[in-house]
Amino acid sequence: MTTKPTYKELEQKAKGLEKEVAKHKKREEVMWNQAHKVREQVKELNCLYDISTFIDESDSSVEEILQGIVNLIPPAWKYPDITCARIISEGKEFRTENFRETTWKQVSEIRTFGKTIGTLEVYYLEEKAERDEGPFLKEERKLLAVIAGRLGRITERKQAQEKLTVSLKEKEILLKEVHHRAKNNFQIIASLLNLQSQRITDKASRAMFQESQNRVRSMALIHEKLYTSEDLAHIDIAAYVHDLTASLFSTCIVSNEIKMNIDVTDDIFCTITTAIPCGLIINELVTNALKHAFPKERDGTITVSMTPSTNDSLILTVSDTGIGFPEAIDFNNTTTLGMQLVTSLVEQVEGTITFDRNEGTTFTITFRGGGLEYKRRDIGNGKSTDTDC
């Protein structure tokens, strides 16, 4: 026979159950607080990640970036549906669409280079009762300060980039003007030589003036190519050689049929330090071929080619199908100014020159060593490779 529990025993069991319930409630509260804290931290981390991603992938102005960031702020707050934000930076405002000032706000300063340039403000559109922090949690206050600090660094970096862009543009304009003036000065010199040559009756003396004019024009053409190009450091050699040889044909009186064959690799872009001696060498060798290779109305072809070699050098070849270089003349020890200039320029670019009399005349110049700088461009994928040999 079982005995019924006494009132005192029931009372003790009830108290024990109450304690257990209280413990469970406390554990549930702790777990809820921990889950809430994790959720808030995840929102904060997502906000910072979204801001970083937006900045890294954006090529926009400072104003566009600030407007984009202000729109990313409300989702990170506890009550995103009633949260609005505003950034004031250097007198300009950037707001969320639902922005409205209320008494429930949170503000952090934006500073650049040690000075306050604005504020980051977050408002709740209605009051929410929260312990300790009022309508804003402590974590959100910290997040606001972190975002404000990041905004300051973004503004500093963007302002520095914009100043650098402006500076580079100014230097580009100045460099274009320098090349333009250099070209004009060379043209003035060529015109003066032309005026002076008109007073000379001796054909040999007048021819010397004409050759000097051509040399000056070859250098003027370099500067013209540079100031009309998007790349102020490198010259498209193929286009330059075409224009240079066309200019030589137009200034030399040729009664017979002489063809010009240009075979220059399209992806060679030389610096001015290489292009000027290269142009002068081509000028001298082509002029020499036009004057001497095809006498008595003899027809033929002059070929100018330039290709990169396997050892990061450039190979320039100027050949003709004319009567050939005289056997009695050593081009390395000739007294003519043109050939002396060629050998001197080859030494200047630390190159080598070889000579072949078979089937006309062929000069082969290899540019190599410290005197060569050029750029190869892969037209197919838009990439470029700078090479210093």
Q: What digits encode the pLDDT tens for the residues 126-168?
A: 887 665 555 556 777 888 888 888 888 888 887 788 888 888 8
**Residues 91, 207 within the same domain:** no
**Residues 225, 247 within the same domain:** no
Cβ–Cβ < 8 Å for 56, 69 = no
Residue 15 lies in a domain: no
CA distance 125 to 116: 27
**Residues 284, 362 within the same domain:** yes
| Torsion from C-alpha of 198, 204, 205, 207, nearest 10 degrees | 60
**Residues 182, 237 within the same domain:** no
Cβ–Cβ < 8 Å for 259, 297 = no
User: How confident is the model over 29-64, as pLDDT tens digits?
Assistant: 766 666 666 666 676 677 777 777 777 766 777 788
**Residues 110, 249 within the same domain:** no
**Residues 221, 242 within the same domain:** no
**CATH classification of the domain holding 135:** 3.30.450.40
Cβ–Cβ < 8 Å for 55, 65 = yes
Among 163, 68, 160, 66, residue whose Cα is nearest residue 119:
66
**Residues 263, 203 within the same domain:** no
Among 335, 348, 340, 207, residue whose Cα is nearest residue 285:
340
Q: Examine the fold and report which residue of 100, 133, 159 is the final residue of a domain before the chain moves on.
A: 159
CA distance 148 to 120: 6
User: How confident is the model over 113-133, as pLDDT tens digits?
Assistant: 888 888 889 998 888 766 555
Residue 29 lies in a domain: no
Q: In what order do the strands lie in the sheet with 92-95?
A: 92-95, 83-89, 115-124, 105-112
Query: Which residues partner with 316 through β-bridges?
Result: 306, 365
Dump the DSSP string for 88-130.
Answer: EETTEEEE-TT----SSEEEEEEEETTEEEEEEEEEESS----
Cβ–Cβ < 8 Å for 376, 308 = yes
- Pick 175 or 345 by higher pLDDT: 345
Residue 274 lies in a domain: yes
- Pick 107 or 373 by higher pLDDT: 107
**175-198 mean pLDDT:** 82
**Residues 275, 331 within the same domain:** yes
Residue 19 lies in a domain: no
Q: Examine the fold and report which residue of 192, 212, 232 is the final residue of a domain before the chain moves on.
A: 232
Residue pointed to by tokens 């003709």:
320
Supply the pTM of this predicted model.
0.58
What is the overall mean pLDDT for the chain? 79
**Residues 364, 237 within the same domain:** yes
Tokens of 320: 């003709």
Q: What pLDDT is stored for residue 381 in this prediction?
A: 44
Cβ atoms within 10 Å of 331's Cβ, excluding its own: 18
Residue 76 lies in a domain: yes
**Residues 225, 240 within the same domain:** no
**Residues 129, 153 within the same domain:** yes
The boundaries of the domain holding residue 226 are: 172-232
Residue pointed to by tokens 């954006």:
58
- Pick 24 or 75 by higher pLDDT: 75
**Residues 266, 306 within the same domain:** yes
Q: How many independent structural domains does the chain possess? A: 3
